[in-house]
Amino acid sequence: MDVIERWSSRYACLLQSALRLGNEQFAARLGIAVRTVATWHSDASVVPRREMQQLLDTAYEQAPPAARQRFSLLLAKERVPANSPPPGAQALRVAIAVVVHESDVLLVCRQADEVTGITWQFPAGVIKPGGKAETTAVRETLDETGVHCAVRQHLGNRLHPVTGVLCEYFLCEYLAGEAINSDMAENIDVLWIPRNAVTRFISVDTIFPSVLAVLEEQT
C-alpha cells in the first residue's frame, strides 16, 4: 500500500486519474469546490491544506483495489521534478485576465498552506471544453473579485514556465464593481495595485512578457 506523507496537487491529480473521475466528479467525491480541483491542475506548486490532506487520504483509502493499483502505477512513473506539471496538465487551458483601471491593475491573493505561503496572481480560470477563453476571463474575474470587466485585447498565449499549462492572456478594462474577495475558500485578498508595482507581488521571471509590455506602455 502506498503511503503519501504529504499530498501535492500533482499527487491529487494522479489519484483523480486513477479513479477515472472528471473534475466535477472528483470534487463531489471529496466534498470540495470544483474550482479547487481545477486549481490543482493549473498550478503544480499547490500543496493542499491540512483538511484537504485528510480528504485525499480518505478518498485513497476508500478507493477500489483496481484504482489503488492504477494510482501505484502512475506514482511509479513519476520521475519529473516536484515543480513540474502533472501528466496531462498541458492539455488544460487557463484564461488570465489582466484587468486595468486607470493606473492600477487587479490582483488576487491565493491561499496556500503554511509551507508554501501565499501567492499573488491575476484573476484566472480553467477554460471548460467548448468554452470561450474571453468569456472565462470575464466570468472568473467577476466570480473571484466582484469586478465587471470587458476584454480589450488578446495578449497571446504560452505554456506557463512553472505549471506547463496553456495560458491565454487578455487585457481587460474595468467596467464596474468594488474589488472584494468573493471566493473566501481559495483567496485571501483582492487588491488594486499600481501597474509599475506588479513585480513586487509576482516574480518577473514568471510574468508573460506581453503582460509586462502592456502594463509598462500604460503606466
pLDDT at 44: 65
Q: List the grid coordinates of 51.
A: 483538511
Intervals of the chain under pLDDT 70 = 1-3, 44-45, 77-91, 112-118, 218-219
N- to C-terminal Cα distance for the chain?
Answer: 56
In this structure, the strands spanning 166-176 and 93-101 are parallel
Domain residue extents for the chain: 9-76, 92-217
pLDDT at 83: 43
pLDDT at 118: 60
pLDDT at 169: 95
Q: What is the CATH number of domain 92-217?
A: 3.90.79.10
pLDDT at 78: 58
pLDDT at 79: 42
Segment 124-162, tens digit of pLDDT = 988 988 889 999 999 999 999 999 999 999 999 988 777
pTM: 0.58
pLDDT at 218: 58
